[in-house]
Amino acid sequence: MKVLCWFRRDLRHDDHAALSAALASGLPVEGVFVFDPALLTPLPREDRRVEFIWFALQELVTTWTRSGRRFHILYGQPEYSIPRLVHQCGITAVYYNRDHDPVALHRDHEVGQYLRKQGCNVYSFKDQTIFEHNEILNSQGRPFAVFTAYRRAWLDRIGASDLRTHPVDLAAPCPTCSDDPPPPSHPGHWVCLPGNGSFPSLSDLGFSATNLTHLPLPLGSRGAQTLLNDFIERMPHYHERRDYPALKGVSYLGAHLRFGTLSVRQFAYHAWSTPGPGAQTTLSELIWRDFYQMILSHRPDLADGHCFLPRFDALCYPGTPADFEIWCSAHTGYPLVDAALRQLHQTGYMHNRLRMITASFLTKDLQVDWRWGEAHFARHLLDFDLAANNGGWQWSASTGCDAQPWFRLFNPVTQSERFDAQGHFIRRYLPELADCPDRWIHAPWRMPASSWAQWCPDYWPPCVDHATARLATLERYRACSPSGEST
């Protein structure tokens, strides 16, 4: 008798709810990860997320097999490959951590049905968030739609027990089945055995290496711990530095939280147990993460492009594909917007303040449908998370829950002047403006023509006038808003 721990967006071996429960069963535990072609096929052949998973999985499997346990890597539809593996290996129970994305919920339902028909038990656990789905509701038993009220209820409820570590001891003696012959292999099935076994290459999965290893991002769960330790030292100043993209002010842990190479409980515990405004602001950002996951679990239609506020489903977007391409190619003529998009394309990361500014510019200056921008971020962000990405775009487009009021628009020039005053971030990603004086760095078109030719001849003029676009946007939103709503 054996049990199986199915890894998904939890690629670590410490503080792992499902793995802790599987080991506590007292039975031999095998591990599995499934590369799903339905998710991989639409991706470009060079994709940082696939490579990030691949490195994290290598580290996980190495630790796993050193403990005398067998790990399976599958390429195929989980609905078929997991039940087949369960049958081949004589598995009596499958343990996994829940994922609340609509596609994942459907997948897990299908897999669970197949497994139960085979007589296999299925156990799921909370691991991705601190509180999920219906755990934080308002006094009427309904989900919150305003973040500040949700945060207050979240903070009222949180306690040490919610952040407790789920113990995992892979070094402990295990009732191993490593002496058993491995199951029959087939295309898309790699069996990693103690001391040997095969691990697929990126090319085996149909992918090539990216620039991931050249980025200043430590990989795997060890890399996550390195970043966490570094951020804990800087956390007291987080509230002061987090909005300035040229500073080292944020945690850079988004991808590690997304793929579970870091336990969110561990991160939240440090923020919750540390006094001071920096830790409080850090914890608030983690609460936003729970908030968006909760919203998506109650409104799965958001994944299909619906607005959280139904009245904005009728909002018109006169922006054209050409306007969208100007934004995508970082040729808007607004330096901070262009530098932010360069950062995204070159690194797979964009600073959170810049995500709001670029999203506002696309939806309210260029008047392009927010769904187009959401899809662009989904293609390029290393830390892409459906709930957070959708929530962020709808916040910026003023169509979501507790969103930026539609009559408030980010001014890309004043945002640049405030959060990158000396233009350090701009110059880092826009060498075209390397010699531009600070006076003009935020709006080069305002300098005399002779100065433009001298200091930034290779930069481009603005693609839209912000003041004119602002008036047009207010008219569009006013048409979908309740009469009398303040502007």
What's the average model confidence in pLDDT over 273-300? 97
Instruction: Give the strand pairing for 71-75 and 2-7.
Output: unpaired
Indicate the class that CATH gives domain 133-164+229-298: mainly alpha
Tell which residue, 357, 289, 286, 285, has the closest CA to residue 327.
357
Q: Which of 48-57, 310-319, 402-411 has the lowest average pLDDT? A: 402-411
Q: Which CATH architecture has domain 1-128?
A: 3-Layer(aba) Sandwich (3.40)
The Cα–Cα gap between 343 and 354 comes to 10
Residue 236 contacts residue 279 (beta carbons within 8 Å): yes
Mean of pLDDT values over 394-398: 96
Nearest to 30 by CA among 85, 108, 97, 83: 85
Confidence of residue 197 (pLDDT cuts 50, 70, 90): confident
DSSP string, 32-53: EEEE-HHHHTTS-SS-HHHHHH
Mean pLDDT of 372-385: 98
What is the CB neighbour count within 10 angstroms for residue 485? 11
pLDDT of 176: 56
Mean pLDDT (the chain, rounded): 95
Q: Given strand 91-97, what is the order of strands in its sheet?
A: 121-125, 91-97, 2-7, 29-35, 71-75, 189-193, 196-197
The domain covering 305-479 belongs, at the CATH homologous superfamily level, to DNA Cyclobutane Dipyrimidine Photolyase, subunit A, domain 3 (1.10.579.10)
pLDDT tens by residue, 421-469:
999 999 999 999 999 999 999 999 999 988 988 999 999 999 999 999 9
pTM for the whole structure: 0.95
| Contacts with 126 (C-beta within 8 Å, 6 or more apart), sequence order | 17, 97, 98, 132
Amino acid at 309: L
Q: Do 96 and 109 meet the contact criterion of CB atoms below 8 Å apart?
A: no
Whole-number Å distance between alpha carbons of 167 and 17: 8
The C-alpha atoms of residue 116 and residue 264 are separated, in whole angstroms, by 30
Mean pLDDT of 374-400: 97
pLDDT at 484 over 50: no
Q: For position 486, what pLDDT does the model report?
A: 54
Asked whether the predicted pLDDT for residue 332 surpasses 50, the reply is: yes
Per-residue pLDDT tens over the stretch 6-55: 999 999 999 999 999 999 999 999 999 999 999 999 999 999 999 999 99
Q: In angstroms, rounded to a whole number, what is the distance separating the alpha carbons of residues 338 and 429?
A: 8
Q: 360 pLDDT band (50/70/90 cuts)?
A: very high
**Cβ neighbours of residue 229 under 8 Å, at least 6 residues apart?**
none
The domain locations on the chain are 1-128, 133-164+229-298, 305-479
Q: What's the pLDDT band for 273 if we cut at 50, 70, 90?
A: very high
How far is the C-alpha of 29 from the C-alpha of 400, rounded, in Å? 43
